[in-house]
Structure 1
Amino acid sequence: KPKPNSITLFAFKDYFPAVATTDLLCRVADALCCKPSELAFYPVPKLMIRRVGDHEAYSALRASELGDGTLELREVEDAMAYINLMDDSPDLLTQMNECIKTNNKAGLYSGCKKAVELAVELGKQH
């Protein structure tokens, strides 16, 4: 019996609908396949595909260091190897999700929340 496979692709010409969609769907996605960018800091397992700018290399490196994403996968064959690995066994996704839980406890995904708290506090001082 073949295993069910489902991949959903969202592509947008404009930045804001893409970000809004990602914000909503990352909560229910098994994994995110994206170029290294600010998406490297989302708490969801990530396959980091070819970057657009050199500055994005550090985002993939950071996701890999945190254990919730891969290094940059510059070739289709490399990305497919990871997809096959995830499809064949839950081990990689389980490991990435365990890292996400640990990172979340440490507050590593709370940057925006902390920035707003700081802004509110600074606003009270003026």
Structure 2
Amino acid sequence: MTQMIPIKLTGKQLADEGIALAKDHADFVTPNWSDRIMSLFEAWVSKQDGQFTITHFRLYVAEHHPDLVPPSSNAWGAVGRLAVKRRLVHNIGFMPSICRYTKGHPVRTYRRAV
């Protein structure tokens, strides 16, 4: 008889996995979603002078490019991570979320990389 070894994932590992799954699902539902959203993010962030959160970008997308709103809000986590990885933005801290669904929990703030 084989024994099951419990695998304990950290909160960060679970978040990483959830974001990756949501991004892949968005790419499946909307072909090339991640490439298209990052191109749009690059254009949008080039016009940002102060600090912002990904929620600010989400609101812009919802108003001006509703076809790029992903099926799961978890996919937005990939935008911030890819933007930092591509050196488009710098993470500068946290602020209370402006999204009513999150009840003001802290979210990352960014500044455009120069």
TM over 0.5: no
TM-score, normalised to structure 1, is 0.23
TM-score, normalised to structure 2, is 0.25
Greater fraction strand: 2
Structure with the bigger RCO (C-alpha within 8 Å, sep 6+) is: 2
